[in-house]
Structure 1
Amino acid sequence: MDPSSVKDQRQSTATAEAAGLEYIGPCPPHLDEEWVDIPLPDGQTNRTKVVWPRPSGEAPLECPLIIYFHGGGLSVCSPDMVLAPARGFATLFSCVVACPTINQLPEQPFPKPVQIAWEVCAWLSDVKNLNDGVLKKAGTIIDPGRGFVVGGLSSGAAAAAVIGTIPGSASVGVKEFIGLTPLQNPISGIFTGIPFLVTEAMLPEQYRDIFKSREETAENKAASAAMRQDLEPYLGVHSPWFSPINLKLSDPKTIPGHPPKVFVYGGELDQFRDDSVVYGKWLSQLEGVEVRTSMIEGGTHYTAWVSPPWPTCHTRKVKEVTLDGMAWLLNLEWDRTREDLPI
């Protein structure tokens, strides 16, 4: 978290995002997209990119809402990193996709970035904010009854996992979550791709036998050592703002109101692979929650559908896993026979 190092990382990711925007091209004619500055309770704003489908007729197009967070260790990247899948979701599922900014470390210490993510979700959950705002003359409206999914990649996936537990945890008195702005509509599903949710320091004993991915390869060992030195000291790894697995409840079934469906995927060779496994097992204890876990064979932490034209990021395999998970959360189908998947 050295400021000069973060600055260098932000410059390199901005270069990658610029290459990604060139690769995916301008907004296609069947979609619209626009930046929105979402007001926060402390007077700040959050820069969020919103993508939506244009209606094909005169009747308003009623859409589900997806909130999709980018990764970057809560310190780098921007919503443009996940513009490619956002356009894909809007195209194939006729949904409105909001991609907030989640890169406030180290300027705003942890857990502020995740708290901001929650407040952005709370604002977006009041659908009139977009329906009477950027969508007012679009002919497209959000109907949360069609689905309200919160998701993301890497640290953005971890934020989504935390957000899924907040309403129920606050209702049973978890002090860290009391006093937050409430949601205006319930979240129907959580999407977590290659999440970072576990450290050795906070791992519950019952999961230690399955938590092996940090040390399985020389590359993972080196990456894990660097993470322990450069990132973990700046995270409250024992806090429920870091991971739902930190919730100190006597019985996980006492978390009421958790979104009923959770999709989680990991990469077989990723140092964070077993974060997905542990999270899936933790979720399986929750009453009324259905979890679907997928593992991408040969996948690393760069096996995610994002905008930059990195080799593993635009394969059919990673797009299919992503689309299958989101379709399941939205109770929709998509045509797996089509060859022209969105870029």
Structure 2
Amino acid sequence: MSQGKRGVPAPGVLGLVLGVLGILLLLTGCDSAPAAKGEASAALDPRAAVRVTQVRNGSAEESLRFPGVVQARERVSPSFLHGGVLSERLVERGQRVEKGEPLARLHNPALEPALAGAEGRVKELDAHLARLERDVERARVLRDRNLVAEEELDRLVSEREATVQAREQAMASRADAAAQVEEMTLRATFAADVADLLIEPGDFVAAGEPVLALSGIDGVEVSIRVPVTLGARLTAGMTARVSPTLQEGRFQGRISSVGRAGSALVPVVIELEPDSRLAPGESVQVYLSVPTEPSLQVPLSAVQDPGGHAPYVLALTDDESVRRVAVAPGRLENDWVTISAPLSLGDRVVTAGQGRLQPGDSVRVLP
């Protein structure tokens, strides 16, 4: 192949290079043309650019959280019916006891003598009644022979009947005295663990004063208190989730009862599943999913002046102009806020670019 002067490309090579450069310039011009056209179009459009989001329906449930403490489903602090001195305590703190097992004994010097007196009265009346039975039978025999008057027989029969009634009253008194003495021994009403000891042997115990605390072993529950307005929306059987505060895990529960407020709060009891592995006294968080009324939601970024006295959103009309709509914000859920406002489902609200907008301004909606 022939070459020109030193350092100057041959005519064929120069033409090939110029052709490649022309193709590259043509491709570059085609790619940049739409972008340049779009930039020019945006530069010519005086309307403010905004981004919008449609108003949506809020969730049908509201999730609420309350602190609580696990407690045994059966629990009691037993006490004596009468006052006295605690003579003996038969259990220790943390001990497992069965139903009917004795827990403690009381000493009251007035109860056992009362039982002895009642028993003596019954024995006395038994002997008197036996003697009257013999006298009545003897009087009947003598009356058949006309040896005693009818009035004497009637007197003996009446005295026997009165003695029978007196004996029945004495037996009732003896049963009551025996029950009082039996109450001097405190017994477990169900299988439980001894949670605490409140009185020491030798201390005086007033009637009705708790002696110890029992925590049942047949299941656990959580008791919480909720506002009155929320309590009216809760019913027995609704599900709940319970999470321990100091460990991992989440357990299912069910509302077993809802009280009525005597003050500002309503007591609610959540019964836990048998496999919850939660111990009485453990601190937990209770999550309730409560049905809510239908509501509208907008992104939190759409609400202007949310902490002020007149929060509002900027909504778009069909002709892409802005109108100002006053709103009353409610609960926040994943960056969406529930509102009360004269808006409808699907209405568009401005979420970005609303800094200098005024009611009536036309805007350009960015994709």
Normalised by the length of structure 1, the TM-score is 0.18
Normalised by the length of structure 2, the TM-score is 0.18
Q: Which has the larger radius of gyration?
A: 2
